[in-house]
């Protein structure tokens, strides 16, 4: 079944330009690993970046720039270009988690130390951006996605199983990009547990946003 829920141009562009924070970028890069369609669009954006680099008004390098670089080349000529290391399949089979997600998790799905939540299990993935919360969720077949806040931005990428969100079904590789305006209640389809990557605004950020929202109502 091919992917039907894709990334928008503006999210892809923020990833291509380097603006998108690490947490969101994990979801984008993992979707790109699974989705040739978005990859092709993304490649056009990188091509655009290269073309724009050509159009930049050159800023002359420092006069001794080339000499300095030559000195470094001489120092580092022992260093060989790193050969691309092909990733080894964990069990010789096809992993459920593609790169870069698998490296962030530290193993494929069968090695995950799930922590139980009411109605689901989760695995937190640490990042250094300080603005996102990134985790894997395992939702039992037929059950709703827990702790669904409907607030702030939210990326949900399906890795196995599927969830249904009203009329739409999201399967492996499909990504849902939601913001606070989207009212929805995703539910895992009844045939199998659903494992997905969920990226949201970090709780602290969310809390301050909540306070701002609540303040007018409390009259403070």
Partner 1 sequence: MTTTVSIDVASCKTLAPYVLRPPRDARPRAARKTVRKKEMAVEPNDKQALNITMSAHLTAVAERRDVAAFEELFRYYGPRVRAYMARLARDGQLAEELMQETMMAVWNKSAQYSPDKGNVSTWIFTIARNLRIDAYRKANRPGFDPNDPAFVPADTAPADQTLEGMEDAARLHEAMAQLPSEQLQLLKLSFFDEASHGTIAETLGIPLGTVKSRIRLAFAKLRSTLEDKQ
143, interface contact from Zn ion, partner 1, none, CB < 5-8 Å by kind: none
For residues 12-51, which are near Zn ion according to CB under 5 A? Answer: 35, 37-38
Least distance between Zn ion and beta carbon 32 (Å): 7
Provide the token pair at 177.
């990009």
CB distance 69 to 62 below 8 Å = no
Gap between the Cα atoms of 195 and 109, Å rounded? 9
CB distance 108 to 90 below 8 Å = yes
Least distance between partner 1 and beta carbon 141 (Å): 23
38, interface contact from partner 1, Zn ion, none, CB < 5-8 Å by kind: Zn ion
CB distance 135 to 142 below 8 Å = no
The stretch among 2-10, 21-29, 101-109, 176-184 that binds Zn ion (CB under 5 A) is 2-10
CB distance 1 to 34 below 8 Å = no
For residues 171-190, which are near Zn ion according to CB under 5 A? Answer: none
6, interface contact from Zn ion, partner 1, none, CB < 5-8 Å by kind: Zn ion
Gap between the Cα atoms of 179 and 40, Å rounded? 25
The region, left, alpha or beta by phi > 0 then psi within -120 to 50, assigned to residue 171 is: beta
**Nearer Cβ to partner 1, position 95 or 140?**
95
Least distance between Zn ion and beta carbon 87 (Å): 21
Q: Which residues bind to Zn ion, rule: CB under 5 A?
A: 6, 35, 37-38
């Amino acid at each position: 079944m091919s992917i039907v829920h894709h990334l928008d141009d503006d999210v892809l562009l923020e990833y291509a330009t380097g603006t998108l924070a690490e947490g969101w970028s994990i979801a984008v890069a993992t979707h790109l690993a699974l989705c040739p369609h978005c990859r092709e669009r993304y490649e056009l954006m990188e091509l655009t970046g290269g073309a724009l680099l050509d159009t930049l008004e050159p800023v002359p390098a420092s006069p001794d720039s080339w000499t300095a670089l030559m000195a470094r080349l001489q120092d580092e000529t022992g260093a060989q270009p790193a050969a691309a290391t092909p990733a080894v399949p964990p069990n010789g089979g096809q992993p459920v988690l593609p790169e870069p997600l698998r490296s962030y998790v530290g193993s494929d799905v069968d090695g995950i130390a799930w922590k139980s939540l009411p109605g689901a299990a989760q695995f937190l993935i640490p990042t250094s951006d300080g603005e996102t919360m990134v985790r894997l969720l395992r939702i039992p077949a037929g059950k709703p996605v827990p702790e669904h806040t409907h607030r702030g931005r939210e990326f949900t990428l399906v890795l196995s199983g599927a969830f249904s969100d009203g009329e739409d079904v999201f399967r492996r590789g499909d990504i849902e990009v939601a913001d606070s305006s989207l009212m929805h209640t995703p539910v895992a389809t009844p045939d199998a547990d659903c494992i997905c990557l969920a990226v949201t605004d970090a709780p602290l950020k969310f809390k301050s946003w909540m306070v701002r929202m609540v303040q007018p109502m409390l009259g403070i």
